[in-house]
Structure 1
Amino acid sequence: MMDRDTSPRVFETGIPNLDRVLGGGIPARQSIIVTGEPGCGKTILCSQIAFHAAARGAPAVVVTVTSEPHDKLVQSLSGFSFFKRELLGGAFFLVSAYASLKKGAKEARDVLLRTVRERGAKLLFIDGLRSIRDLWQDEAMLREFLYELGIGLAAMDCIGLFTTEYGLDKLMALPEATTVDGILAVGVQRRGGRRLRRLEVIKLRGQPHLTGEHLLRIDAGGVLIIPRLEVQALPEPDFLPPPHRAGFGLPELDALMEGGLPSTSTTLLAGSIGIGKTLLATHFVAEGARRGEKTLFASFFEPPAVLFERARRVGLDVSGALKSGALTMLHLPPSEQEADAIVYRVLGEVDRLGAQRLVVDGLTELELSVQDLERRRIFLASFSAHLRSRGVTALFTKEVSKISGAELDFSDTPIALLAENVLLLRYVELRGRIHRILSILKMRDSKYDGNLREFEINDSGIRVLAPLRSAVGLLTGQARPLGTSIGGEEQ
């Protein structure tokens, strides 16, 4: 419905998150151009807005500008869930302006404004300004048409939506750009074999909005906008996190961190392939569920049944937590998903559950889904900030292919620089045996025990053993024996 006597009033679009991008909706009595190359989704977007308006009692007049029958447009929209055939001819009123456009600007303007007045319309959607330009071949006539049409619509408290097929650079050089109140650009980017749709607010008179390009998706429900994560407002950051700790339920490990990870912090759990990162992360969510905290485990690799059956075989049974709803599993199989879409889904689940703990198992997949390399750091920082603002303690696992030599290199892992805490798991060969070792590399603003600890995986899960003081160079892969014991056992 139309907003009540707010200043300024806005017209809600009904497109998920588009109103958020626009700063609340389309400002009242304004005219907007939606521009983009053919096939980018302009007509679907504007038609969805029109159907939403009609369904809530704000009649919409939809204008075609070619001689083609309306059946073609109706057929192309009928597969979307927003399409309501019972609204056709009533609140969603189709009209062809082709005949009046051939007569001239004044005749076309008068027909459209009369139709809006007679139907009591609150939205006029003209699909195809470029066809009008091509028909008239007269810029002055088109400018006058849009200007006077905009004045007439504003006088009747009606929104104007106009699509055109020009690229943004071309449009900005045309008089249409200065005649209307706002411009939305819809584009398609090709990345490998993919076509990625984007929407950007180029101009919107008198209303702040979210800047930059936002993901636009089209599915059976119609258009969905996923706002760019970095520009979404967060609460003021000057809050103090709760003093309690988020433990793993492993007394020896929790003791190293004075009870566990600091609440609302972000942690990177890095390690070699197959060393136990996922199992340790499962301990983390299982302990959260045991404490009555809502927990979410998001995995890029394995479906829930496989992952938790493997944990059950080593004595870590989370079936009860899953059945009770204390633990929720979100499977994000590797695919050509966009980072914004992945995080939108994860944050949606966090909000739905009121989750206090989150595991993202497979950070590399999330990093690779951020196509712009320069964006990765700020994107992950923003994700971390959104989790912190929700009171979530987050743990990200990452496979590190090479941790050897004189230094540990995490330069290709932005989250390692942004995370408050970094835990490292790795294999080491010493005296002819392979050992698993654990080290806390960083805990920001918190005391911790930095001694290397051996750990083992047995029939009760992970068990942390005594400090390793029998060798040096363990983290570099160049271990040299010093004493006579490792992991508390005589060698």
Structure 2
Amino acid sequence: MSTGIEGLDEVLGGGVLSPSTTFIAGTPGTGRTTLGIQSLCAAARKGEKVLYVAISSKPEAMIRQILSRFSFFEENINIRTFNVSSVERDPLTMLVELGNIVSSLRPDRILIDPVTPIGFGFPEAERRRFMYSLNAALNEWNAVVCFTGTLEPDAVKSNVISDIVDNIIYLSQDLDPHITRRYIELMKVSGMSSIQGKHTFEIGTDGISVYPKDIAHANYSITASEERISIGTPMLDEMLGGGLLEGSSNLIAGSTGTGKTVLGLNFIMEGAKKGEPGIIINFDETPEELFLHASNFGWDLKGMYKQDSLKIIHTLPSALDPNKHMVQIQKAIREIKAKRMFLDAVEGFDYVLADQIERKQHIAALSRMFRNEGVTSLLTCLTTESKERSKICKIQITSVADTVILLQQSLISSGLQKSLSIIKMRGSDHEKGPARYEINSNGFVIEDLMRE
């Protein structure tokens, strides 16, 4: 059954089983109650009968007033309150009363918020016995039951609640001086196709949105295509054996000023001529700056944008959530049925993915997602001025790319000379020697092959 939380069903492998029990744990302020109430209200909107059991010192009227501030709140949910000091001292009375309420209402879903104070004053052995009594009652209720609780990660593992629930969802947060990052992970799950690892989430005016760590995880086997995609420069297409392979992931590496962005825009504009929608992902230039840049070559990027045949996803590196970013990209692809993708440049991930291996894995996941969606992608990477081909990319993502094109420039007596080499092209023959090129008013233009 759906949790009603965007992205959470996917993380759980499709939702939660019915009946089942889920423990939503975390430290204060991480959004445990919000997650539980939002899921409960989503079920109520679908016509399910739901029960919210609030362990609190506040009366029901005040709890409703607080919850009504959420846009997702449903007035028709059943709320029952139990005084927190009473359940700490006498949980058995609470269990009997709750059993009577459940027998009367017969709810499809129940949220007990929080469960950790129940029997708090008991010795540990007695508290464990009570929890097993609660578990026996849960089996009779035949409902989807959620608990919330305030616990540190290590305390969750040793808590008796962990023994009686089917799923454990743990929420945490990093209080960075510039931005708060929230994480959700599965410590225990009954779903067979759940996604492990730390996923990110946000709490907004409409509640919680979860961004899975790797939305491309489910589809690894995509049939290779022999169709060719023009990169927008005829002689480069010829060097590539007829163009880029459809659905491939391709890397342009070069130092500052070699024309990586121009070649990428050339690729997007070529798609526009053929009626193939495109997406530009960047971290530096705003859409307006990109429009101006493209207009210098006579390209009406702004017109494409207004006609919805182009989407631009611009994110400042300091504000980047890689998981959310990937979800945004996938949505954009599906909205305009994009066929081409230009990502400029992969260094934008350096700020939030400091670990080199993690960065490479994320870029590999992005490339896999592009391929899964039937998109041919072009990524750029900044290199230092070096003629050693083994050093063309500092973050070593060349193994991820199907094609690697190296752009270089050197100072000669007549000025800067630019050259292009195809370092590799998976699944296709290609020109082995370098070619001279220039950037002019027509864009990226190859002049001739540099034959020995």
With normalisation by structure 1, the TM-score equals 0.85
Once the 2 structures are TM-superposed, how far is the Cα of residue 208 of structure 1 from its aligned partner?
4.5
Counterpart-to-counterpart distance in 1, 2:293 and 2:433: 29
Q: Note closer, same or farther for the CA distance 1:103–1:427 as it changes in structure 2 (3 Å cut).
A: closer
Q: Contact 1:266–1:394 at 8 Å: present in 2 too?
A: yes
CA distance in 2, matches of 1:365, 1:448: 30
Counterpart CA distance in 1 for 2:296 and 2:88 is 76
Structure 1 residue identity aligned to 2:249: T
Q: Does 1:335 align with 2:335?
A: no
Distance 1:231 1:316, change over 3 A: closer
Deviation at 1:348, TM superposition (A): 1.7
Between 1 and 2, higher relative CO (CA 8 Å, sep ≥ 6) is seen in 2
Q: What number of residue pairs does the alignment pair up?
A: 452
In the TM superposition, 1:36-435 aligns within 5 A as 36-70=26-60, 73-74=63-64, 76-84=66-74, 87=75, 90-98=76-84, 101=87, 104-134=90-120, 136-190=121-175, 193-205=178-190, 207-229=192-214, 232-234=217-219, 236-237=221-222, 239-241=223-225, 243-400=226-383, 402-404=384-386, 406=388, 408-410=390-392, 412-435=394-417
Q: What is the DSSP-based 3-state SS (H/G/I as helix, E as strand, rest coil) of the residue aligned with 1:131? A: coil
**In 2: Cα distance, 1:55 partner to 1:144 partner:** 36
- How far has the Cα of 1:432 moved from its partner? 4.7
Aligned to 2:8: 18
1:143 Cα shift? 2.8
Q: What's the offset of the Cα at 1:46?
A: 0.6
Q: 1:403·1:409 contact (CA, 8 Å) conserved in 2?
A: no
Structure 1 Cα separation of the partners of residues 192 and 128 of structure 2: 24
Give 2:146's aligned amino acid: L
One-letter identity of the residue aligned with 2:426: R
1:414-450 CA-to-partner distances (Å, cap 9, x unmatched) read: 3222101111223211125112222222211212123
Tell me if the contact between 2:52 and 2:79 (Cα under 8 Å) persists in the aligned partners. yes
C-alpha change, 1:193 and 1:76, in structure 2 (3 Å) is farther
Aligned AA for 1:64? A
Cα shift readout 1:240-284 (whole Å, capped 9, x = no counterpart) = 31x221112222222211221111111111222233221211110
Rounded to whole Å, the distance in 2 between the matches of 1:305 and 1:407 is 35
Which of residues 468, 475, 480 in structure 1 aligns to 2:450?
468
Q: Determine if contact 1:31/1:150 at 8 Å carries over to the other structure.
A: no
For 2:158 and 2:112, the matched residues in 1 are separated by 21
- Structure 2, unaligned stretches of length 5 or more? none
Q: 1:67-104, CA deviations, whole angstroms, 9 ceiling, x for partnerless residues?
A: 233466445544432123xx1xx334242344752662
Q: Which whole-Å CA distance do the structure 2 matches of 1:323 and 1:251 have between them?
A: 28
Mark the runs of 5 or more structure 1 residues left unpaired by the alignment: 1-10, 471-491
The whole-number CA distance in structure 1 between the counterparts of 2:62 and 2:353 is 38
SS of corresponding position for 1:151: helix
Q: Indicate if the aligned counterparts of 2:60 and 2:79 stay in contact, CA closer than 8 A.
A: no
**Partner residue, 1:486:** none
Larger gyration radius, structure 1 or structure 2: 1
Shift of 1:336: 2.4
% identical aligned pairs: 28
Moved more, 113-122 or 389-398: 113-122
CA distance in 1, matches of 2:61, 2:397: 52
